[in-house]
Structure 1
Amino acid sequence: MTIININALGVTLGDPLFSDLTLTISKGDRIGLVAANGRGKTTLLDCLAGQFDPTTGEITRARGLRVGHVAQNVPDVAQGQTLYDWVLAALPAEQAEYESWRVDVVLDGLSVPYDVHHKPLRELSGGWQRTAMLATAWVTEPDILLLDEPTNHLDLYRIGLLQDWLAALPRDVPVVITSHDRAFLDATTNRTLFLRVERSRVFQRPFTAARNALDEADGADERRFANDLNKAQQLRKQAAKLKNIGINSGSDLLITKTKQLNERAAQMEAAAKPAHQDRSAGDIKLGNSGTHAKALITLDDVPVQTPDGRLLYKTGQKWVSQGDRIVLLGANGTGKTQLIKMIQQALSGASPTLKCAPSVVPAYSDQHLSQLSDSDTPMTAIAGQFNIGDQRARGVLAGAGVSIQMQDTKIAALSGGQKARLAMLVLRLKNPNFYLLDEPTNHLDIEGQEALERELIAHDASCLLVSHDRSFLRNVGNRFWWIDGKKLKEVENPEAFLSGEMGAP
C-alpha cells in the first residue's frame, strides 16, 4: 500500500539540489537515502515531513498520515527539559496526562537507563540526545519514520541496539534513513535512493549491493553516451563525403541527403545524455614523509587513567611500527581517547613509559576537530600556519572543497563536511609520518570516508585510530587493539568485538 507518492519533485536553493525526483514509499519500505554532504538529503526529509515546500513537483500523502521525523539536532528550546519530560510533551495533552506509561515503554524499548530519564538534555551526550529525539518521534505512534543521520554520536554498542530496535519495528512501518554509515545502511534498509541533481536512481536492495548496481548503470550510461556520439560522428563523416560528391557532380539529391544526415547527427547529439558526474565535495589527500625508525611508538605497560587518576587499564608491552594502521577497540568510557591523548602529549614532551622515535612527525585530529579554531578563517588556518603563500593556499583550499567565497569567512560558518575536509588538509600540510585519528569519519560523507581509506592505505600511512564506523575500521585496519577489562590486548581482527561484544559496557 502506497503511503507517500513523490512526483517530479525538485528543490533549488541558489543551485539545484535535486530535480524531477519521482518515488513511491509503501508499507514495509526501509529506504536508505544516500548523497554527498550538502546535496539535499535533509531538505528532502523536511519536504516529506511537510516542513519545507519544494520548488517544483508535488508530494501526495495518505489521508491522516502521521509522520515521525527525527532531525539531526535537539531544538534549543528543549535543552533545559529533562529527557523524560521532552518525550512526554510530544504526546497530546490529554494523552500525556493519562497515558504517561507510553513514555516508559518507548524508553525501555530503546534501552535508556532510568538514571538518564530525568537529566536535562543539555547535560546529556550527543548519543543520548539522539536517542531522546527518536523516542519523541516514536511515542506518537507514527505511520512512517524519517531518520536524519540517526547513528551520529552513537558508539558501536548503541548502533547495534538501534539496529535491533529498527528490526523489531512492525514490518508495515516504512522508514527512510539518511546515513553515511555503510554497514548500518546494509543492516537496516531494503531499498536505496541515490539522490542526484538530475536522474536520481532507486534500487531494490541495500546500500552495498545498490552501490554496485549504480556503478554498473553509470558505466552503461557512459558507454551508451560514447556510442551515440560515435554514431553521430560517423553520420557527419558520411555527410561530408556525400557533400563533396554532390558538389562535384552537381547532384541536388546528394546535397539534400547530406543535409538530412547532418540533421540526424545533430538530433542524436542533442538526445545523447552524458553519464552522471558527481560534483566532488572536496579532495581528501594525505601524505607520508617516511622515517628510518623501526618502532615509532613504544608502550612499556603504560597505565591509562581518567583525568581524576582512576586506573582504566594498562597497555602491556606494545609497539607501533612503520605501516601499522592500528584500530583501537573498546566501549565508550573505557579509555580509547585517553590513550590517543597520552600519545599525542608524549610526542611533544617526555614520558618515562611511553617512548617516541625522534624522527616521528605526528598529525593529530580529535573527534571535535579542536585543531581548528572557529574564530579563524580557512585562509588564516592554512596561510598563517604553513609557509605556502596566499595563491597556493587558496588553491589547496578550493581543492579541499572550501570555495573562494568561503575562504575568508569564519570556520564556524562551514558545514561539518567542509570542516572535516579542512582538518584533513591541515594534517597533510604538516607532512607527517604518523597519524593519531580520533573518529576521523565524523561529518564525512561516504565519498569522503572512502577517499580517506584509500589515502591511508595507498601511502602505507602509520596510524593509531578510533572509529565507530565498522566499514571504515574493517577496510583500514591491519592491526587491532582491544581494551578488554583492565588490559589492552591485540586481536587478529575486530569481528569478535563487533559481532559478539558490539562495544557493550
Structure 2
Amino acid sequence: MIRLDNISKQNGKQLLYIEASASLQRGEKIGLVGPNGAGKSTLFRMITGEEPPDEGLVLVDRGVTIGFFSQDVGEMSGRSAVAEVMDGAGDVSAVAAELAGLEAALADPEQADRLDEILERFGEVQARFEELGGYALEGKAREVLAGLSFSQEMMDGDVGKLSGGWKMRVALARILLMRPDVMLLDEPSNHLDLESLIWLEQFLQGYDGALLMTSHDREFMNRIINKVIEIDGGALTSYSGDYEFYEQQRAMAEKQQQAQFERQQAMLAKEIKFIERFKARASHAAQVQSRVKKLDKIERVDPPKRRQAMSFEFQPAPRSGEDVVNLRGVHKRYGSRVIYEGLDLLIRRRERCAVLGVNGAGKSTLLKLVTGATEPDAGSVALGGSVKLAYFAQHAMELLDGEQTVLEALEAEFPRAPQASLRALAGGFGFSGDDIDKRCRVLSGGEKARLVMARMLYDPPNFLVLDEPTNHLDIATKEMLIAALAQYEGTMLFVSHDRHFLAALSNRVLELTPEGIHQYGGGYTEYVARSGHEAPGLRAA
C-alpha cells in the first residue's frame, strides 16, 4: 500500500535517512521505533506528502485513504466535540452543522415569521443528513468519544473550551471515526487515562486497515503491532513480531555483530603483527605485500551501535516513621460534586500504593490532599514522624523558569551542591554535553519531565507522591525510572496509566469507587488477577 524507496532526508546538519527503504502492506500493524530526534515524525510527514524526501520516492497506491494523527492538533473552537469529530467524515459534518442551525432557528421566537421557510429547508437538510447516514455516524462519533472518556456534556460543549490534552483526544477520535485504509498515529497513547488507553487498544486490535504508529507505552504496542520498523543511523530495519520480540531480536543481532567484530579485530591484529614484524626483511617481502593487499580488500565489520542507557541511583533516604500518612474522616467536594465522604486511609512505610479509579473518581485529589496542595473540607490529613515528601504534579513542568538553563535550574534548587555532582545528575537523566546549557523554554515535554524528576530525586525524599510521572517519557527513560524506583527504599503513592510501570512498582492498589476504597495487596498484577479488570470497569484482555 505504501513504499519508501531509497529515501534520503537531511534536517539542518542532521542526516535522518540515507537511502532507506521500507513498506507498509494491507493488514500490517507496525510500531515505528528509534531514539528521540531520529526522524519518526518526519517519516509520517513524508508519507502524507507534507514534506518531500531529498532523494528517493514515497509511493502510495492509488485510491488509498490515509488518516494522520499528530501531537500538533491545530485550532479548534466554535463547534461541539461531536461536530469536530464528524468533520473528518466529509460532507456529513457540514450538513449536521446546518441542521443544528435550523433547529436553533425553529426555537427562536424572533424568526417566527420565517417558520414555513425554515421548516421546508429543515426537511430538505434532514433528508440529506439521513441519506448520508448522519444519524448512525453521530452515534458512532459519540461511541468513540465515550471510549476516550468524554462525558455527554463535554461531547456537546464548545471544543474550544477543552484543554490541550482533551483536544488531542478529539483529533484522535476524528481519525478513528474516519476508519481510513491506513492510519498513521504519532503517540496516540499520550494524554490518555488507563481506561481510554485500553479502549483504544481494543479498537485498534479490531481495525482491519494498515497501521503505522509510535508510542512510548511498550505494553500498548505489544498488544497491537505485528511488525517493528526501527530507525537507526539513517537506515530503516524491519522486524516481524511484537515489541518484545523486536527487543530480543535486536539484542541477539547486537551480540552476533559484537562477536563478528571481535573475531575480525583479532584476525586483523594478527595480520598487522606479522606485517610489522617482517616488513623490513627482504626474504618475507612477497608475503608481507600479499597480506597488505589482503587487508586492504577486507570489508570491515563495525562494532554494534550501543544506545547510551541512562541510569540513576538514589542516595539512601532518611528513614521515616512506620505511619507515613494518615487520613481520617476526610470530606472533599467541588461545588455540588462529592469526591470523598468520611475517607479513612493509612499508608505505611515502604508501601508502594498505586491509585486506580475512573475519570473523576478523585485520584489527583487524593494526591493533593496527601501533599497539602489542597485542604479537606472536614477531617484530618497527618504526615508521620520524619517524613520528607516530594510531589510530582501534572503541572510541575509549567513551573520551570523558561530562561534558566538545565544546569541553572539544578543550581537554583541545590545552591551548595558541587557542580560536578549536578553535572553527573543531569547526565543520569539524559542531559549530556551541550544539552545541559539548553534553556528550559526550548525543552520538549519529555526533557522537562526528566529535569523535574532530577530536581526531586537528587536530595532523596522518603515519601514520593507521583501524579502520572511517565507522561512524555520515552521507553528508555521509563525503564531508567523503573530501575531506579525499584531500588528506592522509601514509600510511594502514585497514579499512572502505564501498566508496565504499575506492575513493576506497586505492592498495594487503592481502587477508588463510589462505595469507597477497595484495597488489593500484592500490587497491580494481583489486582488484575483478583478483579478480572485491567482498569476499573474494564475486563482484562
What's the counterpart of residue 312 of structure 1? 340
Contact 1:88 1:96 in 2 (8 A): no
Query: Amino acid of the residue matched to residue 327 of structure 1?
Result: A
| Counterpart position of 2:409 | 381
- Counterparts of residues 19-98 of structure 1 (less than 5 Å): 19-76=18-75, 78-93=76-91, 96-97=94-95, 98=128
What SS class does the counterpart of residue 195 from structure 1 fall into? strand
Q: Structure 1 stretches of 5 or more lacking a match?
A: none
Q: 1:413 aligns with which of 442, 446, 449?
A: 442
Is 1:272 the counterpart of 2:310? The answer is no
2:209 aligned with 1:177, yes or no?
no
**Counterpart of 2:452?**
423
Q: Structure 1 residue 19: deviation in Å?
A: 3.4
1:332 to 350, 353, 359: 359
> What is the match of residue 104 of structure 1?
138
TM-score (norm: length of structure 1):
0.87
Shift in Å, 1:92: 4.0
Offset at 1:203?
1.3
Tell me, in whole angstroms, the C-alpha distance in 2 between the residues paired with 1:489 and 1:295: 22
Q: Distance in 2 between matches of 1:168 and 1:208?
A: 21
Aligned to 2:168: 130
The one-letter code of the counterpart of 2:58 is I
1:366 maps to what in 2? 393
Looking at structure 2, the residues matched to 497 and 132 of structure 1 have their Cα atoms a distance apart, in angstroms, of 34
Q: Is the 8 A contact 1:289 1:432 kept in 2?
A: no
Name the CA distance, whole Å, in 2 between partners of 1:150 and 1:168: 16
Counterpart residue type for residue 31 of structure 2: G
CA contact (8 A) 1:306 1:335 kept: no
User: Could you tell me how far apart the structure 2 residues matched to 1:277 and 1:393 are?
Assistant: 25
Measured in 1, the distance between the counterparts of 2:408 and 2:206 equals 50
SS class of match (1:12)? strand
* Counterpart residue number, 2:6: 8
Cα contact 1:371–1:423 (8 A) shared by 2: no
Q: Distance in 1 between matches of 2:365 and 2:505?
A: 21
Residues 7 and 56 in structure 2, CA contact (< 8 A), matched pair in contact too:
yes
Quote the Cα distance in structure 1 between the aligned partners of 2:329 and 2:403: 36
Does the Cα contact within 8 Å between 2:22 and 2:236 map onto a contact in 1?
no
Cα distance in 1 for residues equivalent to 2:93 and 2:482? 50
Secondary structure, counterpart of 1:23 in structure 2: strand
Select which of 454, 461, 482 maps to 1:432. Answer: 461
Q: 1:458 to 1:404 in 2, by over 3 A?
A: same
**1:109 positional shift:** 4.2
Shift of 1:146: 0.5
- What SS does structure 2 have at the residue aligned with 1:186? helix
Conserved? CA contact 2:77–2:160, under 8 Å? yes
Distance 1:312 1:101 in 2: 39
Give the deviation of 1:407 after TM superposition: 4.7
Structure 2: distance between partners of 1:496 and 1:438:
24
CA contact (8 A) 2:69 2:175 kept: yes
Under a length normalisation based on structure 2, what TM-score does the superposition of the two structures give?
0.82
CA distance 1:297–1:459, shift in 2 (3 Å): closer
Residue deviations 1:116-169 (CA, integer Å, cap 9, x gap):
332222323555433321332244452100011111111111112112211222
Q: Is the 8 A contact 1:346 1:355 kept in 2?
A: no
C-alpha displacement of 1:382: 1.4
**Distance (whole Å) between structure 2 residues aligned to residue 313 and residue 225 of structure 1:** 66
Shift of 1:224: 1.4
Distance 1:234 1:449 in 2: 44
Cα distance change on mapping 1:212 and 1:347 into 2, 3 Å = farther
| 2:257/2:303 contact within 8 Å kept | yes
* Residues 453-492 of structure 1 mapped to structure 2, 5 A cutoff: 453-492=482-521
CA shift digits 1:369-414 (9 cap, x unpaired)? 3473253423432112212255654564355334665555542321
In the aligned structure 2, how far is the partner of 1:286 from the partner of 1:305?
37
Note if contact 1:11-1:19 (Cα within 8 Å) is conserved in structure 2.
yes
Secondary structure (helix, strand or coil) at the match of 2:413 reads coil
Q: Which residue of 2 aligns with 1:446?
A: 475
Structure 2 residue 206 is the aligned partner of structure 1 residue 168: yes
In the TM superposition, what is the alpha-carbon distance from 1:316 to its structure 2 partner?
Answer: 3.0
**Cα displacement (A) at 1:188:** 1.1
Match of residue 536 from structure 2: 503
Provide the C-alpha distance between the structure 2 equivalents of 1:315 and 1:486, rounded to a whole number of angstroms: 11
Could you list the per-position Cα deviations for residues 81-113 of structure 1 after superposition, in whole angstroms to 9, with x for gaps in the alignment? 322332343344478434244641441441535
TM-fit CA distance, 1:420:
1.3
CA distance in 2, matches of 1:401, 1:57: 34
Mapped to 1, the partners of 2:260 and 2:343 lie a distance apart of 57
Q: Which has the larger radius of gyration?
A: 2
What fraction of aligned residue pairs are identical, expressed as a percent? 25
Which structure has greater helix proportion? 2
Kindly indicate whether the alpha-carbon contact (under 8 Å) linking 2:145 and 2:155 is maintained by their aligned counterparts in 1. no
- Once the two structures are TM-superposed, the CA of residue 61 in structure 1 deviates from its matched residue by 0.9
Check the 8 A contact 2:323/2:346 in 1, yes or no. Answer: no
Task: Give deviations 1:294-325, integer Å, cap 9, x for gaps.
Answer: 42513243525244472435543422213x32
Does the 8 Å contact 1:329/1:336 carry over to 2? yes
Pairing of 1:180-191 with structure 2 (within 5 A): 180-191=216-227
* Conserved 8 A contact 1:192-1:204: yes
What is the rounded CA distance, in whole Å, between the counterparts of 1:95 and 1:301 in structure 2?
A: 52
- 1:286 touches 1:424 (CA, 8 Å); kept in 2? no
Deviations 1:459-493 (A, max 9, x none): 33431111000111111212222223342232132
Aligned position for 2:288: 258
2-side partners of 1:136 and 1:347: how far apart? 36
Shift in Å, 1:456? 0.5
In 1, the alpha carbon distance for the partners of 2:260 and 2:441 equals 44
Amino acid at match of 2:169: T
Q: Structure 2 CA distance, aligned partners of 1:260 and 1:498?
A: 73
Q: Does 1:287 align with 2:314?
A: yes
Root-mean-square deviation (Å): 3.0
Contact kept in structure 2, 1:10 and 1:18, CA below 8 Å:
yes
The alpha-carbon distance between structure 1 residues 39 and 483, as it changes in their structure 2 partners (threshold 3 A), is same
Q: Paired residues, what number?
A: 489
**Equivalence for 1:222:** 258
